[in-house]
Chain A
């Protein structure tokens, strides 16, 4: 998540309150305090509130929350006379553009850094790694309007930021660090997005890199902002958040005409919400006046609309307000989450244990009675443990992770026995005998069901021990079972049996094959058993992926 640095002196100036109040109260509007430092505090906000990704945005919210300045912040916007055109050839490449002019900025090094970090946080939260939105900030006075957003040939060249020589767009993708980071966003297009001025000079190659020409420095007084992307709403959100943050810092905002549309208007959206619905959702006795007042503290414009509704003006930077309930949450925050009186409803229900956990519980009780110790191995494992070491053929229903994170965990387990032998291997240095069991989910062909397996290692472990344990388990689970000689290669020939229920093989037991013992580096005989719990009477139909009908 994005870390936002709040310098105390700046925050004190913007909010008119002291640093301790800010530190104490900012968590109650949703901040997670990361670090409290000598001259600043670092906080994190949730990804639904990118408007809080700047000190100015946080100060604006805090002023309302603390009752210093309530209601809708109003931003005046003047026309700049500057126009921007969008090349229809960008339709399938990167069609959306939003822009603004920001005048009279006063940038020291710290302010530039803070603007850059807002930009980066927005790239992450709104821009989805620059794919959906990429933001460019330019020194307006270095270039000449009108501006054009075009689909350019790939061999056009300009001097990108942090370089001294001209590079072609293709070169930038291979040789510029930012080019390498973001090349995947434009690869495959025959033309690349480019922003040029009236003299055909390059401002930016979005979403990759700006030109050195419009670099923002402490001398910059006027800014041209461009936000390009694939989503009309998202590019506008980014413009609104940056413009209002800079306006809070004292800049003036001017509109740009993009293909005939003037933007940004920084105008609020309107919603009329029901007081009764809010009161009943939150469990608070709210009047129209209460709700109006609480919303004012969250910087909404709010006024009674009749005696049961409130007309809400949603600030342009609040991209998280999708639904009336989003507004109700802000009522709860303004009321103070800590002020809610927790209560239990009169809801009366009768609990029911799931039949699968009831069966697993019975299995545990039997295995514990037999002297076995429970283990809870990972469900992610690999084919060496499941198959190669066990001398078994891979199950055709084995699920393989498309992008595993280690060689140890590449598939979902289809059986538990190999995992228990791996446990014995890890516990070789512990006193024998060791009797271990596990009960839990396995997955085959997307269907999840439960199995139990058990292993016993000691110098006298043998077929009889395995058979006795398997017999106890089956009898205790009310299984009508028979046993036939098994052909499971994980076990020794002549010392292995299959458990048959209703004509179906549901389990196996016996002495583990010495070659398997060697593969797991074990030094004593192992008596083992495994049982598919779907054989147990009352086991519900294995819950697979919810939509039935197969692949």
Chain B
């Protein structure tokens, strides 16, 4: 049994007296009472001392109560300030009239008739007054008759006192009798002690491993950022080059270049955040116009109608990152191209636990000679597999800018098949105006859905308006999810 120095000192102090309260021991040991209690508890666990805790309650006058000490309760003071009777108006001049008159009436000491306060003749000293007198003398009063009334009136308040009595046990005496080494224990080693070799001789304080350390909070990245980084890592591993671009896009790039008809519901202000700003159309926009109006030089019929340049110039907060993909392809026409983007996109939605006006979207594209629909499915399986979704299946889908289109679904324990993103091959109406000659496989998904599954979130807002506690407590790696 390895005692700490302080426990030893406690036993030494207890030796002559056998038993003492913690305050007395603190004086003897030249330390604080709280420290004594701590040492005693340690020694108590070893059966060397007994620690007895006493809790006593007493009542001390409050600030208001102290004003009446030595003078009596307000009603007594007011009562004694006049003879048998006094006009109410005159009595109200007394500084304690407000409190005193009410209590005098309540206790039946006076009656008020026709504006005159008349003593009833019965004004015996009540238990509350007796208790208050005792408190006045000693500065505090134990529990007893009348005290509760005083406490209710806010004249006294409860004060809890805890004292500890420490007594040495027979095994403590045995140990003490054998003699204790009281050499000072070393906490932190000094430079001198390390260099001189003095550490070899020093009694080193032992620390209790059962006691948890003070909780420290490291700096760290956001749990959601770690998920985004994991996805970026997967795509970089698969050989995809990263794209980035502006949040503000012209309708031309966000919609028209993707063959989204100008009267498409997504292009109405109910669904998309429009801005007052306008951007001129890029050179060669006529190809896109022709594609919309009659299908350009492809086998397409186009949407028909008249394409409006003014409508295409309106700026929006990007509703997807697909506009970046088509720009990337326009600038990189030589196959192969494999690129991805993780970026924030915007939808005009009222915010609630499962809908946000902005969220991250992931998008991947592959352009190469001879890539086909089977390859699209292959990339999707590979990507979802690396994200931890082992079972993937596909259903027909629809997106204005891909054909064929599919909706991938992943199997999640407890939820079943969950739709996760969309995919397809860019329509020729999208690629032809930019001179892109090979098929472009494309897929995208809203990452918040994955975040909810992976981070166990019920409310998406937690990602963007995070509780510091949640970020602190979410483990950096693993954590069962």
Interface residues of A (CB under 8 A from B): 27-30, 46-49, 128, 131-132, 231-233, 271, 273, 280-284, 322-326, 328-329, 332-333, 337-338, 340-345, 347-354, 356-357, 361, 364, 367-380, 399-406, 409, 412, 423, 426-427, 430-431, 434-436, 441, 443, 446-448, 542-547, 549, 551
Contacts and interface: CB of A to CB of B under 8 A. Distances in A.
A295 to B, nearest CB: 14
Interface stretch (B71-79, B133-141, B277-285): B277-285
Contacts of B278: 551
A283 B469 CA distance: 51
Given A128-B263, A271-B299, A345-B371, A30 B396 contact: yes
B120 interface: no
A423 B467 CA distance: 8
Given A340-B394, A430-B467, A547-B280, A446 B427 contact: no
Contacts of A333: 396, 404
B395 A280 contact: no
Nearest to A269: B301
B68 interface: no
B175 interface: no
7 contacts: A348-B239, A351-B242, A354-B243, A364-B221, A373-B471, A399-B277, A547-B282
Contacts of A427: 467-469
A357 B279 contact: no
A332 B220 contact: no
A401 B273 contact: yes
Contacts of B378: 342-345
Interface residues of B, number: 104
A347 B465 contact: no
A458 to B, nearest CB: 12
B193 interface: no
- Chain A interface helix/strand/loop/mixed: loop
Contact of A403 (B274, B346, B377, B466): B274
Nearest to B314: A402
Nearest to A281: B372
Contact of A337 (B232, B263, B265, B396): B396
Given A399-B277, A403-B274, A349 B239 contact: yes
A440 B373 CA distance: 36
A328 B236 CA distance: 32
A375 B466 contact: yes
Nearest to A403: B269
Among A332, A347, A431, chain B packs the most CB atoms within 10 A around the CB of A347
Interface in B321-374: 323, 327, 336-338, 344, 346, 348-351, 357-358, 366, 368, 370-374
Interface stretch (B89-97, B180-188, B246-254): B246-254
B304 A401 contact: no
A343 B371 CA distance: 10
B171 interface: no
Contact of B374 (A131, A282, A546): A282
B103 interface: no
A542 B244 CA distance: 10
Contacts of B300: 322-323
A340 B425 CA distance: 15
Nearest to A545: B279
A457 to B, nearest CB: 10
Nearest to B276: A402
B463 A376 contact: yes
Given A231-B305, A446-B279, A368 B221 contact: yes
A546 B284 CA distance: 14
Given A28-B396, A325-B427, A547-B281, A332 B464 contact: no
Contacts of A337: 394-396, 406
A30 to B, nearest CB: 4
B321 to A, nearest CB: 12
A543 B274 CA distance: 19
